[in-house]
Amino acid sequence: ISGGGRCNFTNLGAGPANFLSDNPHFCRSALAGYTPQDFLALLKRHRIAWHEKHRGQLFCDDSSESIIEMLRAECDAGGVQWRMGCQVADVAHGEA
């Protein structure tokens, strides 16, 4: 999740202008669909403490492992089926 282990999990100042895309509307809709405030609410539900360093960069107070554990718990609660140790033989683009 992060190289330093502290986990810079979001940035309050990041917006569509900070991303490059062939479709400029994609970033706007994607970022509006799940905001930094949504993630902060998730952290609050899981009682994960965090702090702002500078320019809106948010870090968890503990190690990035707390974020990993939270994401795993959310996946488990959502019924995600874990597939570990599997080899991907091919990736193809097709109709949904």
Over residues 15-59, the pLDDT tens digits come to 888 888 888 788 888 888 888 999 999 999 999 999 999 889 999
How confident is residue 96, by pLDDT bands cut at 50, 70 and 90? low
Assess if residue 37 is contained within a domain.
yes
CA distances from 46 to 9, 42, 74, 80 (A): 15, 6, 10, 18
Assess if residue 85 is contained within a domain.
no
Assess if residue 64 is contained within a domain.
yes
The residue ranking higher by pLDDT, 92 or 14, is 92
Instruction: Determine if the pTM surpasses 0.85.
Output: no
Assess if residue 2 is contained within a domain.
no
The number of domains in the chain is 1
